[in-house]
Amino acid sequence: MTIRVLVVDDSALMRRALTALLASDPEIEVVGTASDGRAAIEQVAALRPDVITMDVRMPIMDGAQTTEHIMAYYPTPILVLTASLSRFDVDITFKMLGLGALDVMEKPPGGDPAGLERARLDLIRRVKMLSRVRVVTHLRGRRRSVADLNTAAGQRNAPVGGPRHRRGSRPLGTGSLRRGHGSAPLRPPEPLRRSHGARLLTPAAPPAPRTALGGARHVVVIGASTGGPRVVQQILRELPPSFPAAVLVVQHIADGFTAGMVDWLDACCALPVALASAGDLALPGHVYVAPDNLHLLIDREGVLGLSPHPALLQRPSVDVTMERAAEAYGARVIGVLLTGMGRDGAIGLGAIRRAGGYTIAQDGDSCVVFGMPRAAIEVGAACEVLRPEAIAGRLQMLLRDAIARERP
C-alpha cells in the first residue's frame, strides 16, 4: 500500500528536494506540501496523510504550535526535519517531540552527492517506519482555544479549529557531573505524585549508599528508541533530588541531537542531567546520557567509560550498557526498557535479571513502537511490565527496599 506523505517546510527549494527524494521510492507518494503551520493544518484536515515531515522554523505557526494542534485534532506520525543544530532550533525540536512528534533528523545536505544519498535512504527508512506507527490523540493541545490559534495565525482569514468530519483517531500503538563553573543551582522539584500506591522517597531520605570511590552504589539503566524522549522525560521528571541511584540513559536518536536532548531534559527535571564523559564518577541522583556513537560503560566503583567498539547495529547500544552494569553491579542494578523498534535491550535486560537485578519493560498499549520491550518480554527478561506513569514510583519503592535490606 502506498504511503501518503505531507511535506511541510517554509522553503520552496526544500519542499521540492524532499518531494523528489521521497518520490524516488515507489511505495511513497507526496500528496501535498505546505509552507507554514497554518497551511499544514489545513492540508492535514483535507488530505489525512499517513506521515508528515515537519519543519521547525516556519512563519505564522512554528513546528511546535503546528505539532500540538495536529496531534490534538488529526493525530498523525510526524517526522521533525531541522536544518540547524542551534540551541534555538533544537529546543523547538524537543518541544515538538514532547508534544507528540515521533522522530527527528537533519534535513538533507546540499552539494554532497554521497551525503544526499545517505540522507535519502535514511529519510525513506524513517518515513516507512513511522507509517506503521499507530498514534494517539494528545488532548493537551485542545486546551488551547481556537481564538489563541487564530491569533497565532492572524495573517490568514480562515479560522482554525477541529475537523468538521474527523476520522476516529488511531489507537495508541502497540567523572563528576560536568555542569561548568558558576552553573545555576538546581531547580526545586515539582510536587511528588504517588503512582500506583508506591511510597516515594522524599528529599529528607537518608544519604544514598556509595561505592568506595564515592560513586552511586545502585544504578538504573534506561534504554529507549522511537518515541523514547517523551517517555524518558516523563519518568525523570517524577524522580526527586534525593533519588539514591545513578541513572544511565541510552536513547537511540539521530546523530547530533543527543546534546540537545540532554539540555531539554536538564531544564525540566529535578535531577541534573549531563552527557556522559569517560572518567566521570556516576553519582546518586544524577543522570548520565550516552553520547552519539559511543557505548556507555560503568565499572564496579561507578566510574563511567565510553567505547566505539563493538560497532553493533546500534551505537550506543542498550544491550552493551545493561550488560556492563549487570557485570559491575549485579543485584544493585534496575533495568528499564522503553518504546522502540528492534530488539536492542532484550539481551541486556536478561543479563540484569540473571545477575539478580530487577527489570521493567514498558507495556505495549503505551508504546509508540512495541518492538524492544516486546522482545524482552518474549524471552522472559522482564520482571514486570508497567505503563510509564507507574515506573518512577516503582523505581523509588524498589530502591527504598533494597537499601533497607543492606543497612544493618
Any catalytic annotation for residue 252? yes
Cell output for 332: 544493585
Of 55, 344, 363, 366, the catalytic one is 344
Any catalytic annotation for residue 299? no
Read off the amino acid at residue 331. A
Read off the amino acid at residue 339. T
Any catalytic annotation for residue 309? no
Read off the amino acid at residue 189. P
Of 131, 195, 225, 317, the catalytic one is 225
Place of cell 524532499: 18
Q: Which residue from 201, 228, 206 is spatially nearest to 341, judged by alpha carbons?
A: 228
Of 69, 252, 286, 295, the catalytic one is 252
Q: Which residue from 316, 266, 273, 265 is spatially nearest to 98, judged by alpha carbons?
A: 265
Distance CA 7, CA 30 (A): 7
Distance CA 334, CA 246 (A): 10
Distance CA 18, CA 14 (A): 6
Residues marked active site are found at 225, 252, 344
